[in-house]
Each structure stands twice: as structure tokens, then as C-alpha cells.
Amino acid sequence: MAMDLREQYDKIYRYCYFRLNHRETAEDITQETFLRYFDSVCYRERGKSLEYLYTIARNLCIDEFRKRSSKQTAETWKNAAAQKSEVQNDAAMQASEMPDDADMEDETLTRVSIKRALRRLDGESQELLLLRYVNEVPVSVICSMMGISRFAVYRKIKNARKQLKEQLREEGFE
């Protein structure tokens, strides 16, 4: 299975950004993922390129998360506040560039509600939904990445969807 590296680059970045919620770090980890991918040929030769790519990205995100949690300093909190402000400024700028349309407003509110509902889920559920429905990663790849059976992946995805529906219901979506 030949894979489009540009498309995968965007998907890996989105995966890293969703996991870490920091643009520059996600960019760095995405680049590191592809550098490590190109440095090693053993998995690519076995036709497991996609699994290997996501495994590298996942492990790098986990390492970064561990580094972050071990350094809970005032600087970390300051950066998070700056990032939040940056995201709000980006959203305001994007909103000002869009035509004033009720449908656009509804779509934005829906996206915000879905993102908020997703953030309330545990990390594994978030990851599964992102991989399967946003990045459209095949179940077989998810099985290899997480080291669990197809049945377990389907069961976990079903539970994650159920939890997401409950969160959305709390947000006022039916």
C-alpha cells in the first residue's frame, strides 16, 4: 500500500496537535516522526509504514507529555495562558475574516461544543476517535499501534462514541 506522505504529514501533525495542544511542539514532533521514519527501513520493507509512522508519533507525544508533567513550573503555566490567548486571537481573526452568516456561527458553535465534549473524554477515547474518524486510520493499524485485538478496538471505539454522545447531550445536542 503506497501512502501519500504529504497527506500523512498533515494527519500526523493533526494527531500530535490534538494530543499536545501546542502548535510548535506538534510541528517539532511531526518533523521528528518523519526523520525517524526515514532513518529506519525495517518497517517500511515489511509494508507496515502507516503503523510505524503512528507508533513513532504516539511514542514521541507520550515522551513530550511526560517531560511536560515533570516540569510543572510557572513558565509552563505562563506559556499555556499565552497559547490560550493566541488561540482566542486566531479564532477572533478568523471570525472577522468570515462573512457574517448565521450558518457560519452555528457551525463554529458546533465545532466548539464538539471539541469541548471531546476534551472531557479520557485520553485513550480521544485518541481512538481522532485516529479512526478524523485521520481515518484503518482499524488494523490502530490494533498494531495499541497492541490490542480488533474486537477490543471496536469495543473501545463504541464506548468512546457513547461517551461523546453523552457529553454532546450535556452540551445541548440531541
Cβ partners under 8 Å of residue 13, min gap 6: 26, 27, 30
Quick: pLDDT tens for 25-51: 999 999 999 999 988 866 555 667 888
Count the neighbouring beta carbons within 10 Å of the beta carbon of residue 68. Answer: 14
Mean of the per-residue pLDDT values of the chain: 80
Which three cell numbers, joined as nine digits, stand for 123? 485520553
Considering the segment(s) 99-174 as one domain, its CATH architecture is Orthogonal Bundle (1.10)
pLDDT at 108 over 60: yes
d(CA 49, CA 44): 5
CA distance 30 to 18: 12
Q: Determine contact, residues 16/31, Cβ cutoff 8 Å.
A: no
Measure the CA–CA gap between 136 and 131, rounded to whole angstroms: 6
The predicted-structure confidence for 57-84, as pLDDT tens digits, reads as follows 999 999 998 887 766 544 545 555 566 5
Domain-by-domain residue ranges, the chain? 1-97, 99-174
Chain center to CA of 14: 5
Q: Work out the number of other CB atoms within 10 angstroms of the CB of residue 19.
A: 22
Taking 60 as the threshold, does the pLDDT of residue 159 lie above it?
Answer: yes
* Cα 37 to Cα 69: distance, rounded to the nearest angstrom: 26
Res 56: pLDDT: 93
Return d(Cα 50, Cα 7) in angstroms, integer: 12
- Structure confidence at residue 74 (pLDDT): 45
Separation between Cα atoms, residue 132 and residue 140, nearest integer Å: 11
Query: Tell me, what DSSP letter sits at residue 1?
Result: -
Higher pLDDT, 79 or 172: 172
Q: Using the 8-state DSSP alphabet, how is residue 99 labeled?
A: -
Q: How many whole angstroms separate alpha carbon 126 and alpha carbon 160?
A: 8
More confident: 52 or 100: 52
User: Using the 8-state DSSP alphabet, how is residue 134 labeled?
Assistant: I
pTM for the model stands at 0.65
